[in-house]
Copies of this chain bind each other. A is one copy, B any other.
């Protein structure tokens, strides 16, 4: 048992932290979010800097693919720092999820696409949710029908984060079986500009951009299939667990910053002639926020270190982590806003923006109730 970072991991963390502190300021971020620095929500230069200047888009990939030779821990390190700075760029969907699928299936498609991810040329969005499906990964109406050597996709994917600027989509489909069957799920990597794909883009409440994505007779080759036809669900579950662990790491960063901002504010803000940090009730609330953050960090570490265990153990660990992270996001987010008072609910301070992201993380890849039910089903 060992909880220490390697020197390389420490260096990765420090490098990302320093870079973001220097360049990814609140004002710079808001300029991108609001589109005053180009297309709303997307600044290609930042992504290129991640790829070239920092080289972090290769963090979890093998050196053979041109990566840094890391894995889930490296994703955790990057995502936690991204959370601290409220980074909106799609590391999660591109590197963790896109990269996760490609590493899992391997072969020619991985050898081709992973280097392009590392170079920042391929940006991936994950089209998995559907309007009726809630958090059930196999509740799919989007269909993939075999036609000739390839497949034809039809359907509607909901709230695809990062789709407006993605070069590729990873799409979960039903190629057989009933709407919620565990069998019959197939996963495809599709160019975002494939014929028959239309999008309706919109901003999200947490500063990103997302799309409804509609597939109308979209033809893809057999080489677009990730893994085996109809056997995709275990693969999707694995990658979504990896993504959830990474999301937990982001949440650790988000809640740590929220806690730090709140401490700072409480020490400066005066009411009734003294800093509000001197009020014992607020002190204890900030302590409780601290306890939430510390436990979130512990759980994220636990889940990340268990990603390689057997699917049931992995799933149980990830769901346990997400449960605590959802609680932490709510408790720390609401506490931060309450202690900031009126200033907490304006768009002028960073606090409110962190709170909004924390709130969205609560439900992303499954609400607390979803993960409690999953945890229960896996226990005993």
Residues on A lying within 8 angstroms of B by beta carbon are 279-281, 284
Give bound CA distance, A247 to B95, whole Å.
Answer: 61
**A266: shortest Cβ distance to chain B, in Å?**
14
In order of increasing CB-CB distance, the 5 nearest A-B pairs are A280-B280, A280-B281, A281-B284, A281-B281, A279-B280
Q: Which residues of B contact A279 (CB under 8 A)?
A: 280
Interface of A is mostly: helix
**A172: shortest Cβ distance to chain B, in Å?**
35
Give bound CA distance, A281 to B284, whole Å.
Answer: 8
**A315: shortest Cβ distance to chain B, in Å?**
28
**A229: shortest Cβ distance to chain B, in Å?**
44
**A167: shortest Cβ distance to chain B, in Å?**
49
Q: Which residues of B contact A280 (CB under 8 A)?
A: 279-281
**A291: shortest Cβ distance to chain B, in Å?**
15
In chain B, what residue has the closest Cβ to A280? B280
Q: Which residues of B contact A281 (CB under 8 A)?
A: 280-281, 284
What are 5 A-B pairs at a CB distance below 8 A? A279-B280, A280-B280, A280-B281, A281-B281, A281-B284
Give bound CA distance, A329 to B279, whole Å.
Answer: 28
Count chain B CB atoms within 10 A of each CB in A279, A281, A284 and give the residue with the most.
Answer: A281
Give bound CA distance, A284 to B279, whole Å.
Answer: 12
**A282: shortest Cβ distance to chain B, in Å?**
9
**A288: shortest Cβ distance to chain B, in Å?**
11
Give bound CA distance, A279 to B281, whole Å.
Answer: 9
Give bound CA distance, A280 to B279, whole Å.
Answer: 7
**A327: shortest Cβ distance to chain B, in Å?**
20
**A73: shortest Cβ distance to chain B, in Å?**
39
Give bound CA distance, A356 to B22, whole Å.
Answer: 59
**A338: shortest Cβ distance to chain B, in Å?**
13
**A287: shortest Cβ distance to chain B, in Å?**
10
In chain B, what residue has the closest Cβ to A284? B281
Q: Which residues of B contact A284 (CB under 8 A)?
A: 281
Give bound CA distance, A249 to B26, whole Å.
Answer: 56
Give bound CA distance, A279 to B283, whole Å.
Answer: 12
Give bound CA distance, A199 to B284, whole Å.
Answer: 52
In chain B, what residue has the closest Cβ to A283? B281
